[in-house]
Structure 1
Amino acid sequence: MREISFGLVHRVSVKRKNAGQIAASCSTIAKEGFCNVAAHIYFSESGNSGMFKSASAAYVYVCIYYALVFMGNGAFSSYIGLYYSKINLDTFTIGLLTSVGLITALCVQPLWGLAADRAKSKNSVLLLSLLLTSASIWLMPASGEHFWLLLASTALFYVFQCVVNPLSDTITLELAGKSQFNFSRVRTYGSVGFAGMSAIAGWILDRDINYMFPLFSAMMLLAFVCACTIPRVEGHQRKQKVRLKELFNSRALTVIYIYTFIIESTIGFFFTYHAVYCQEQGISTSLLGIGVMIGSISQFPFMIFFDRLYARFGVYKILLFSGLIHLLRWLLYAVTVTEFTVILSWALHGGTFILFYLCLAEYVNRHVRKELKASGQMMNSIMTLGISRIFGGLAGGAYASVFGIGSGFAVCAGLCAVAMLAFSWYVKRYAASTAAQAETNSVAQ
């Protein structure tokens, strides 16, 4: 008999080859939620019949942590617009408050990244941000309908919140390398938590939208408690200070960032205007909701099998493939918008943002020097969720106000095509030697 210890109250005995007993034993600890599922996946994939050690414990705790963080996001990000509407803010003001988070992140994320890289422990910076995020959310309802108070409280909230996801990725990627588990699988639990909480929160907030704030705050506090159990990851600039600009000494990474900026700007345009455009074309809100659900589910296969895809095809081919999927989505919206094309477009969603997110996270973790890993993940967030989304929304809005949203999607498709051609040319001419040199440097470090 072997004994599996989760570091919790329960201890479960299983035999190596008896899968039925493993499943039955895991069901006895169902109240640990994601914990038992994560442990079962780790156990069955690794084929390890021995006692769970620190590596498996790290995997379990990180899975629970990601589920909690994204459950909090699911209770907040999908519904904050409804709260603004309830307190009688106009459309322009809602858009302004929504953009404050992106602009704030753009300014402060590089500073958070340097702080984490230079800290004794990156975990301590993460714990601080979780606590302050949980506390600062209460400033929003306390501001009432006063615009300037809402603006200040929203900006302050995002100063702390914007660091949680990229710093979590930094810590988890380092642990994944040491403990031999898949980061993309961990990220899957986050998406499951987000989707599940979005549905649950919709039912809760239908009674009172103000429940959003205690719900989010509670999830962040639980994530803080769980983060206390995650193994410590040190900052690597304590002895040697490294400037942020050295992150861009890599021509390959700089080109990837430029390509990412162009492609993700188009998805920024999409997220800003697709709902309005679809309703103009007679698409119901309920169908859009079904599309969003399908889009969320479509990401799961790419997250589950990402490590295999990355090992087989490499970062450049995956990014080119994702660029093609972006192009196809925008062509669908540019040519015709029907119930079928809307659902088809959302079914393609899994091949878009999440592939860029995972590719950038993995590339930075493998090829950026350890002193700048946290800064690199912060820069990833800026490129995928920050500056590209701001540019896509603002520039796309200016274009659409003159030429129409449908024409804007055609321009997005054209931008994707041009970006893919330029990126493909770079890959053929420079990438082979650059990748080999980067691999040599990462091994040397």
Structure 2
Amino acid sequence: MQNKSVAILAAFYAFIYMSTGSFSSYIGVYFTEVGIGHTEIGVLTSIGAVIGLIAQPLWGLAGDRSRTKNGVLMICTLCSGLTVWLVPWAGTFFLPLLLAMALFSLFQVPINPLSDAITLELSSKGIVKFSNIRTFGSVGYALISVAAGWLFARHIDSIFLVTSVIMMGCFALSIGIPKVEGHQSGKKKVRITEIFKDKQLVVLYAFTLLLSTTMGFLWSFQAIYSKEQGISMEVIGIGLAIGSFSQFPFMIFFQRFYDRFGIRNILLVSGLVHTLRWALYAFGLTPVTYVISWILHGGTYILFYMCLAEYVNKHVILELKATGQMLNSVIQLSVGKIIGGMLGGLYAASFGFHLAFVLLVIIAAVSTAGFYVASRYLPSFSEAKRPRTDNQPISPSG
């Protein structure tokens, strides 16, 4: 039974991140090919973040308050596989495209954090190991990145067929995932504001938000900017695959890193890696430096992702764990993509991509220094308070 659960979740994560690799990484190129401007692309690629900002906390509460979180996950995967077809059907008209991307995003954005909430709870019961399962997600992302880079260079419109087929596969796999209950189902409800009473988590969220805006710009425009600098689609695909593989050591050995160095030191190093990476884009992007930037990818997004997931799983109360994982996604992806994608698109349209990446260098350096100073005035993150037990009182919903 345990081996079956591991196999299903491993395949599910591989498919989920294949979907991300095939859609999110290349949809900007599709919009460019059909004649959409940079500013409009920034809005279209960021609308998912706007939808996520509103919808993800609601999906999180739905998961926490449903009989099982799995039922909500199944709905999201099925509807994502269907609604992605609305994008090509919308043609090249901006408003229909915006509505299509918004509806697709409504179901797509909660899938990853809801999957994490389920897997982390199964991990705490000894059924699976979260870091190992998450590694399969990066394997899937790496495989599809190379294949998609080759395929989409020749048939960019096939992006929708590939994404739909993969998402339907996710739906089929989600049926076999072990059931995880919603811990507020039929019980007292807990306010979402309970999460923000943890001052250390608030500091983590602030630092995460600032660096996530830089990542949001990268995801929206790196393929477009790289093509303008003479980087081929094949090299872009290889870079994305290398970036995925570069995350493996950090996922496989994450618990050792976390226990030995602590969350504070891990994220300070990640802040410095962010700064170096944007400097490569700003001051000399070539095929070689492009590949180097993706080698550095393992020290950026995934470290924040794993640290936040681990922190929430250990220190947020049981009744709000799914909601907490959704908030991680809201901070790291939704808000970051809104600022990085929308405002970054406007900035790049006015001042160019070069100056945009120079600004990212400044943001990363200043926010890392700010986190270092702020963290000195709080207890060590490795000594964070223990989570409350079910025997302690909780606040009823208002």
Q: Give the TM bin, normalised by the shorter chain.
A: 0.7 to 0.9
Compared with structure 1, are the counterparts of its residues 409 and 363 closer, same or farther at alpha carbon in structure 2 (3 Å cutoff)?
A: same
What is the Cα deviation at residue 400 of structure 1?
Answer: 4.9
Report the alpha carbon displacement of residue 318 of structure 1 after superposing the two structures with TM.
Answer: 1.0
Q: In the alignment, is residue 160 of structure 1 matched against residue 103 of structure 2?
A: no
Provide the rounded CA distance (Å) in 2 between the counterparts of 1:397 and 1:220: 28
Size of the aligned set, in residue pairs, is: 391
1:279–1:170 Cα change, 3 Å: same
Partner of 1:212: 159
Tell which deviates more after alignment, 203-212 or 379-388.
203-212
- Provide the C-alpha distance between the structure 2 equivalents of 1:431 and 1:251, rounded to a whole number of angstroms: 10
2:244 is the counterpart of 1:303: no
The CA deviation string for residues 17-38 of structure 1, in whole angstroms up to 9 with x for no partner, is: xxxxxxxxxxxxxxxxxxxxxx
Is the contact made by 1:121 and 1:235 (CA closer than 8 Å) also made in structure 2? Answer: yes
1:257 is the counterpart of 2:205 = yes
Q: Which of the residues 352, 359, 372 maps onto 1:411?
A: 359
Deviates more, 1:73-82 or 1:323-332: 73-82
Superposition map of 1:12-411 within 5 A? 54-85=1-32, 87-179=34-126, 181-205=128-152, 208-238=155-185, 239-275=187-223, 278=226, 286-400=234-348, 405-411=353-359
The amino acid across from 2:366 in the alignment is V
Judging changes above 3 Å, is the alpha-carbon distance between structure 1 residues 180 and 313 closer, same or farther for their aligned structure 2 residues? farther
Shift in Å, 1:384 = 1.2
Closer/same/farther in 2, CA of residues 279 and 180 from structure 1, 3 Å limit:
same
Q: In structure 2, what is the Cα distance between the partners aligned to 1:134 and 1:277?
A: 29
Offset at 1:424?
A: 2.0
- Report the alpha carbon displacement of residue 98 of structure 1 after superposing the two structures with TM: 1.9
In the alignment, what sits opposite 1:33? none
- Cα distance, 1:440–1:245 mapped onto 2, change above 3 Å: closer
Distance 1:147 1:338, change over 3 A: closer
Question: What is the alpha-carbon distance in structure 1 between the residues aligned to residue 354 and residue 88 of structure 2?
Answer: 37
- Distance in 1 between residues matched to 2:57 and 2:390, nearest whole Å: 26
- Kindly provide the CA deviation profile for residues 131-175 of structure 1, in whole angstroms up to 9, marking residues without a partner as x: 211222233333344443332222111111111111001100100
Structure 2: give runs of 5+ residues left out of the alignment.
393-398
Normalising by structure 1, what TM-score? 0.79
Whichever residue aligns with residue 124 of structure 1, its letter is G
1:327 maps to amino acid: T
Is residue 16–residue 137 contact of structure 2 (8 Å, CA) maintained in 1?
yes
Residue of structure 1 in register with 2:373 after alignment: 425
Deviations 1:301-322 (A, max 9, x none): 1122112211222221111111
| Cα contact 1:366–1:442 (8 A) shared by 2 | no
CA distance in 2 between counterparts of 1:332 and 1:89 reads 27
1:358 is displaced (CA, Å) by 1.0
Letter in 2 for 1:110: P
Distance 1:307 1:406, change over 3 A: same
Amino-acid identity (%): 46
Instruction: Specify the code of the residue in structure 2 equivalent to 1:310.
Output: Y
Could you tell which deviates more after superposition, 135-144 or 174-183? 135-144
Aligned partner letter, 1:182: K
Counterpart-to-counterpart distance in 2, 1:359 and 1:419 = 17
| Distance of 1:414 and 1:90 partners within structure 2 | 26
272-281 vs 330-339, which moves further: 272-281
CA contact (8 A) 1:113 1:374 kept: yes
The answer to whether the 8 A contact 2:28-2:224 is kept is no
Paired amino acid for 2:190: V
Determine if contact 2:243/2:297 at 8 Å carries over to the other structure: yes
Residue pair 2:274, 2:364 contacting (<8 A) in 1 also: yes
Q: How far is 1:336 from its partner?
A: 3.9
Q: For CA contacts below 8 A with separation 6 or more, give which structure has more relative contact order.
A: 2
Asked if structure 2 preserves the Cα contact closer than 8 Å seen for 1:182 and 1:307, the reply is: no
> 2:125 is paired with a residue of what secondary structure?
helix
Given that 2:17 and 2:140 are in contact with CA atoms closer than 8 Å, whether structure 1 keeps it comes out as yes
Instruction: From the CA coordinates, give the structure whose radius of gyration is larger.
Output: 1
Q: Output the aligned Cα RMSD.
A: 2.7
- Residue equivalent to 2:395: none
Going from structure 1 to structure 2, the CA distance change for 1:440 and 1:275 (only over 3 Å counts) comes to closer
Q: Which runs of 5+ in 1 are unaligned?
A: 1-53
Give deviations 1:266-312, integer Å, cap 9, x for gaps. 22233444455556656555544443332222112112211221122
Structure 1 pair 348–421 and aligned structure 2 pair: CA distance change class (3 A): same
